[in-house]
Amino acid sequence: MFVRKRSSANVFTMMMGMMLIPFIVLAGLTFFYTHSMIRESFLTTVQRFDDNTSIGCIEIPIREIRRSLNSLTQNGFRTKASVDNYIADKNPLMSSLIKNAMMSSPYFIAIIISSTEDKFKSYPDIPFDSFLASEQSWYPKAVAKDNILFSTTMVTVNDKANQRTNPVLIATKNLLDENAKTIGNITVGINGDESSDILKSKITPFSGEYIVADNSGHVIMSSNKSAVFSRTVEAEWLKRAQNLTGHFIDRQSGDMIFYHAYNNPDWVGFTIIPAHAYDELFTARYKILILICMVCFILYIIGIFLCRSYLINFINLVYMKANGLDAGPQNSSFEMLSDTVSTKHQQLTNAKKIASVDPLTLAGTRRKFSEDITEFMKQGKLFQLAIIDVDNFKKINDSWGHATGDIVLQYVVKAGENILGQKNQIYRYGGEEFVILFPGEKHEYSLKLMELWLEDVGNRTWRESELHVTFSGGLVSWKGEKSAEQLIEAADKLMYTAKESGKNKILSEP
């Protein structure tokens, strides 16, 4: 009798242990899945912040500086006489334009116009001890080029008021006449404090820090102004920042470093996430996961003792009924039940993907667009809507084939996703036509993103040397007064107006 009881206890213990195996496996898989999801969410969040901050604090200011310098050179300094007269205070019109440029641009701290004879005039008037523009390290040596160069060299300016030197950043451009002959040079000192002020309003996720460094490692922008020009980043960081964007772990501190690199100017934006913040992100969630596993384990044991086989059979029956499965003998085993559920789940996943993701471009489908815009309007969220259409797409298909046309569409969407960010969704509306939703974005910012997208696509060099891809589009705002059809119609009209007026442009209506 004792042997029989002991044998039954052993059998029950073995069965209980076997029933715990799925729980242990599930707990382990959940642990690794949670780790993967936390890491993926962390990387996506910080990379998106790094990209958006780099656009706002580097790309947009650089575009404004280029635009201002081009405007000055195109509106006044086109002859050697115009340069000489300005330096000799005989060109009041250009003096007024220079003053207006200084007043209107938050990025300029000084503008220096120099002639080919190294005569110069600065605004505001800077009392140099001596200054020869052609001997400066940042002076453009390619004299026949009408390019703007951004120097990472820190130059010193003698301030006779208190005899101290101030490091500044330089943007310089040779002045050319109509025959591409050098007639002088325009140089501006860039105010890094302005972008540093912008960084103060940026809240870096995970207690991180965002800085911008030049190719020598000097910090040129930071929310901590005392660090500007006085702090340097690790030389290893600059060596490892080889791609446009990416991330790596600092070997000494263990900090997670995200970067966004540029060529002209030769700067790199770094988002620094402390190692302890990265570790705490996982630790907090692991504690919750362990607590949940312990609770589930206790409930699991209680369920085994109280319900045993009856509970298992009951759960199987309910689960099969809830999922529309046959509760007959063919689904009596766990293996058959698992296969059936897996098949149904895969079918449902595939159906959802087909309905919401365009298989060629991986953009959203027209159906997904209808669902999203209906939800935005239902919630009363303000948003921007844009429609674009690839210019001359039929000609691309006819000239280079549909395979090339498909590659063009894929690149246009990929470039848009990189610039617009994941917050702003792209949908394939039909053929070569795409719709974009900007939830919560301001009209001006959405227009700038669209123009960056247009510029990126237009500058792409294709394997087919004669292939040049552009698109035209229209951007409108929804403020609660139009239906979805009216909004699409308004954007569509702007797009066709853009095409009729020359293509390769974005027209907008606030």
pLDDT at 330 over 60: no
List of E strands, 305-410: 383-390
- The per-residue pLDDT for 250 is 92
Angle at Cα 13 formed by Cα 9 and Cα 15, nearest 5°?
A: 115
What's the CA gap between 188 and 122, in Å, rounded? Answer: 9
Over range 371-389, report the average pLDDT: 92
Mean pLDDT lowest among 123-127, 251-255, 266-270, 383-387:
123-127
Which residue would you say has higher pLDDT here, 117 or 4? 117
User: Residue 149 has what pLDDT?
Assistant: 80
Which range (7-16, 232-241, 356-365) has the least confidence?
Answer: 7-16
Model pLDDT for residues 415-454, shown as the tens digit of each residue:
999 999 888 899 999 899 999 999 988 899 999 999 999 9
Alpha carbon 274 to chain centroid, angstroms: 21
Report the side by side order of strands in the sheet with 209-214: 219-222, 209-214, 267-273, 256-261, 245-249
Report the topology of domain 366-509.
Alpha-Beta Plaits (3.30.70)
Structure tokens at 327: 């509760």
Q: Alpha carbon of 304 to those of 7, 67, 295, 307: distances in Å?
A: 19, 73, 14, 6
Alpha carbons 185 and 144: distance in angstroms, whole number: 12
Q: What is the pLDDT of residue 351?
A: 57
Decide which of 3.30.450.20, 3.10.290.10, 3.30.70.360, 3.20.20.210 is the CATH code for 76-190. Answer: 3.30.450.20
Give the span between the Cα atoms of 21 and 26, in whole angstroms. 8
pLDDT-wise least confident of 222-236, 305-319, 477-491 = 305-319
Rounding to the nearest 10 degrees, give the CA dihedral for residues 372, 376, 377, 382.
Answer: -140
DSSP one-letter code for 460: P
Domain ranges of the chain: 76-190, 366-509
Run of H or E including 333: none
Of residues 38, 3, 117, the one with CA closest to residue 287: 38
In 3D, which of 327, 360, 291, 262 has the Cα closest to residue 59? Answer: 262
Quickly tell me which residue has 């960010």 as its tokens: 421
Query: What residues have CB less than 8 Å from 81, skipping those under 6 apart?
Result: none
Does the structure show a pLDDT above 50 at 63?
yes
- Whether residue 11 is predicted with pLDDT greater than 50 in this model: the reply is yes
Amino acid at the residue 114: S
